[in-house]
Amino acid sequence: MARTRLKQEILAEFLGTFVLIVFGVGVVAQVVLSGGQNGSYLSINLAWGLAVVMGIYVAGGVSGAHLNPAVTLALAVRRDFPSAKVVPYWLAQMAGAFAASAIVFFTYHDAFAAFDGGTRVVVGDKATAGIFATYPQPFLSLAGGFIDQFIGTALLVLVVFAITDTRNSAPTGNMAPLLIGLLVVLIGMTFGFNSGYAINPARDLGPRLFTLIGGWGPQVFVAGNYWFWIPVIGPLLGGLLGGWVYDKLVGEGLKPAAG
């Protein structure tokens, strides 16, 4: 029974992350491939936030809709999420992000060909790798990028903990997914300039793995002075800090949950 339940949770986490990434990567593809004629940075922020909302509504009732390895890790360390489920959730999230990237690519295949002539480019005027994964601004150092991802994810987890804490001013009804989506919009509109606010290892690494085999090649792991590990490690550690800060500064001052 426990094994069947875990299987359902993994499948739900896969599908929820798929929904998140298929819409998130999809909006970036639309903006980039249209040369900005069909969307803007604002539409990217709004669509990513709505993608989070939809992903949570899809998977929340079964898996809790973490959709993010940093959230899963923080819940395992700071809450009662079983540590044995961490890696299975991570794999499901990564697979969902990879599959979603493939769907976006094949849906926009002709648009890619019209944009770059069939030559997949990682950096430059016709670069399209950034549709799928994040890459740093030319001025951003690895240290600066790590701080960017660390802080962004710390803020994400801190506020997610607050929104979902029934001892605090938790939203009534099923409004938490919408508020978490708005939180992602807020982070994108305030901390998106440096490197595109990945704040989610699966959101970045899953699509990056797709680009590795989808025509962009190993340059996707070399570009930005081997940038790829920053949006993986930074969010994992930042999420732990965000959860700790919320618990120490607010959580410990709240009454224990009833029952």
Residue 259 has pLDDT above 60, yes or no: no
* String of DSSP letters for 110-131: HHHHHHHTT---SSSTT--GGG
- What whole-number distance in Å separates Cα of residue 223 and Cα of residue 196? 15
Given pLDDT bands bounded at 50, 70 and 90, which one contains residue 172? confident
Distance CA 106, CA 183 (A): 30
Share above pLDDT 70 across residues of the chain, in percent, rounded to a whole number:
98
How does the average pLDDT of the chain come out, rounded? 96
pLDDT in tens, 2-59: 789 999 999 999 999 999 999 999 999 999 999 999 999 999 999 999 999 999 999 9
**Residue 51 DSSP label:** H
Confidence band for 258, pLDDT divided at 50, 70 and 90: low
State pTM to two decimals: 0.96
Q: Which amino acid is at 173?
A: G
Confidence of residue 170 (pLDDT cuts 50, 70, 90): confident
In eight-state DSSP terms, residue 81 is -
- Cα–Cα–Cα angle for 191, 194, 195, rounded to 5 degrees: 100
Q: Could you report the per-residue pLDDT of 108-143, keeping only the tens digit for each?
A: 999 999 999 999 999 999 999 999 999 999 999 999
Percent of the chain with pLDDT over 90: 93
Taking a C-beta distance cutoff of 8 angstroms, is the pair 157, 74 a contact?
yes
Asked if residue 257 has pLDDT above 80, the reply is: no
* DSSP sequence for 147-176: HHHHHHHHHHHHHHHHHH-TTSSPPSTT-H
Overall fold of domain 2-248: Glycerol uptake facilitator protein (1.20.1080)
State yes or no: pLDDT of 1 exceeds 80: no
